[in-house]
Amino acid sequence: MCNRIITGFALGLLSGGCAAGLPITNELSLAIPQPGSYQLRILAPDLLELYLINTKPPNPARVDSWDFVDAAGSPQLPVAQDLAVTIGAQTVAIQSLGFKRRVLYAPLKQRDLRIGNSLYLQLAAPIAEGQTVQVNNLTAAHWPTNSPFVATMDPLRFSPALHVNEVGYAPAFPKKAMVGYYLGSSGEMNIPASSGFKLIDAKTGAQVYQGSLVLRPDVGYSYTPTPYQKVYQADFGAFTNAGEYRLVVPGLGASLPFLIDDGIALAFARTYALGLYHQRCGTNNALPFTRFTHGPCHAARAGIPSPQTSFAFTWNTVSNYARQINSNNPFQTAPLLTNESAQLYPFVNQGTVEVSGGHHDAGDYSKYTINSAALIHYLVFAADAFTGVGDLDNLGIPESGDGRSDLLEEAKWEADFLAKMRERDQLSGEGATGLAISDQRHRPIWPGGRVPKAHPLRGRVHARRRIGLGGVRIIPRHRRRFVPSEVERLV
């Protein structure tokens, strides 16, 4: 879309349709500003940030404007005499300049590099409330003389130095915000902390809370200058009234609006649930749960790599892994798994096995039974341990609204897969478990070991002995919270 009004500020080197001269406003937008977009921010009454989006063609080209950093990484800033700052009708001296630039957007598929540039001006005199400040470039070297950077001192202007949790805060939980800003070659911003902070109602502007700012220098860095040494913390955990608010630090301005609301915790829970849904195997990902849709995966059966003579590549790969010494691991006394006959637990199942289900470990679509057991544990543990969590049936997954626990249904999706991975164990009848299923053709199924007796999976998930006849029962520790018929319905 290119339907915004283009104003006069068009840098000579910036080109192309709507790519030049768009003033950035503080209205919330998901759009990333185009090259040429610009804004003047009043960080503090005597500190300005001139912000400009530019771009750079592929190497060896340099940035198309504001080329303020030389090949050695040193700033080459405009001289103060080339810039003119006026507050109202009054000219104000520039005491010092600083510069910072960061990649804002860099898609791989199609080059569209956008760089955020910040030029900082420390002023000799402050801007008063309601006054308008203007920065001109007298030589037109950096922007046209008829298109100054302009801003008005509004006590509730947005401040990029105020970092609140934009997802929001749960009323009964800790609530903290951070105050600090990096000025590039000028170092960290001095925060006017003595007046503390306040919370205001986002709609009425009425003050609802106030508190002190506490210095919270970060630790653990081994280089200089040590970063995050002028960061302050605003703790408003004692304020528990639900509503929409902004954080204000006198002199700096206001944060973006944020919610204090019990629904915030569910926003996190639903995000996690949707993340797990995207990792589900053996089913599709479909609307309306996601727009990242695909059909069922891992539908084909996987081959057991036996006899070894029929799977030379697989066993060569397994053997190479086995011979890699990892000095971070404890010394291993078991024989190296270099061939089929060296297996401590030889394959019992032969031929091909069904391996769909469960959740992928990551974007490579592999699956590992160790992680599989861990996921079941985490989900069932959460249903057991956290009040009300096991009752949630509104996490936005396909099983939501069916009257059963969403967490336990997600756990069962994994447990049914884990049950499929069991070997028929003729000695104990309890079964052994393969270690991994991979999309990599050279290791369709990994020779595996047994679920140890002390494993947390035991006692939590009971796989039926006769694989293929019903899957898994999940039995929460606090059975009282789930009537027996409810548990059975999960089977």
**DSSP classification of residue 418:** H
Q: Looking at beta carbons only, is 114 or 404 nearer to Ca ion?
A: 404
Order the strands of the 90-92 sheet from edge to edge. 90-92, 83-87, 132-137, 149-152
Q: Shortest gap between Cβ of 405 and Ca ion (angstroms)?
A: 6
- Spatial separation of the C-alpha atoms in residues 101 and 69, rounded to whole Å: 9
Q: Looking at beta carbons only, is 56 or 481 nearer to Ca ion?
A: 481
E-assigned strands of 221-356?
A: 232-235, 243-249, 253-254, 258-260, 302-303, 352-353
Joined together, the tokens standing for residue 429 give 């009848």
- Spatial separation of the C-alpha atoms in residues 356 and 283, rounded to whole Å: 8
Near Ca ion by CB under 5 A: residue from 70, 166, 402, 439: 402
**Contacted entry of Ca ion, Zn ion, none for residue 281, CB cut-off 5 to 8 Å set by kind:** Zn ion
- Spatial separation of the C-alpha atoms in residues 16 and 61, rounded to whole Å: 18
- 454: which residues sit within 8 A by CB, 6+ positions away? none
Q: Of 90-98, 273-281, 421-429, 477-485, which segment contacts Zn ion by CB under 5 A?
A: 273-281
Q: Looking at beta carbons only, is 361 or 410 nearer to Ca ion?
A: 410
Q: Shortest gap between Cβ of 302 and Zn ion (angstroms)?
A: 11
Near Ca ion by CB under 5 A: residue from 404, 420, 422, 443: 404
**Contacted entry of Zn ion, Ca ion, none for residue 430, CB cut-off 5 to 8 Å set by kind:** none
Q: Shortest gap between Cβ of 305 and Zn ion (angstroms)?
A: 20
Residue 485, classed as helix, strand or coil, is helix
- Spatial separation of the C-alpha atoms in residues 38 and 21, rounded to whole Å: 7
Is residue 270 a contact point for Zn ion (CB under 5 A)?
no
Q: Shortest gap between Cβ of 393 and Ca ion (angstroms)?
A: 4
Is residue 410 a contact point for Ca ion (CB under 5 A)?
no
Near Zn ion by CB under 5 A: residue from 10, 297, 374, 382: 297
**Touching Zn ion, residues 170-209 (CB under 5 A):** none
Near Zn ion by CB under 5 A: residue from 298, 359, 412, 460: 298
Residue 384, classed as helix, strand or coil, is helix
**Contacted entry of Zn ion, Ca ion, none for residue 298, CB cut-off 5 to 8 Å set by kind:** Zn ion
Is residue 399 a contact point for Ca ion (CB under 5 A)?
yes
Give the Cβ contact number of residue 484 at 10 Å: 9
- 41: which residues sit within 8 A by CB, 6+ positions away? 48, 49, 51, 151, 157, 160
**Contacted entry of Zn ion, Ca ion, none for residue 49, CB cut-off 5 to 8 Å set by kind:** none
Asked whether the beta carbons of 18 and 32 are under 8 A apart, the reply is: no
Q: Looking at beta carbons only, is 53 or 411 nearer to Ca ion?
A: 411
The DSSP result for 254-267, as a single string, is: E---EEE-THHHHH
Q: How distant, in Å, are the alpha carbons of 236, 309, 323, 463 from that of 313?
A: 61, 9, 15, 33
**Contacted entry of Zn ion, Ca ion, none for residue 402, CB cut-off 5 to 8 Å set by kind:** Ca ion
Give the Cβ contact number of residue 185 at 10 Å: 15
Q: Looking at beta carbons only, is 195 or 279 nearer to Ca ion?
A: 279
Give buried/exposed letters for 373-387 (b at 16+ CB in 10 A, else e): bebbbebbbbbeeee
Q: Shortest gap between Cβ of 416 and Ca ion (angstroms)?
A: 16
Q: Shortest gap between Cβ of 77 and Ca ion (angstroms)?
A: 59
Is residue 391 a contact point for Ca ion (CB under 5 A)?
no
Is residue 281 a contact point for Zn ion (CB under 5 A)?
yes
Total residues binding Zn ion (CB under 5 A): 3
Near Ca ion by CB under 5 A: residue from 406, 410, 416, 423: 406
**Touching Ca ion, residues 345-374 (CB under 5 A):** none
- The site for Zn ion (CB under 5 A) is made up of 281, 297-298
Q: Which residues bind Ca ion (CB under 5 A)?
A: 393, 399, 402, 404, 406
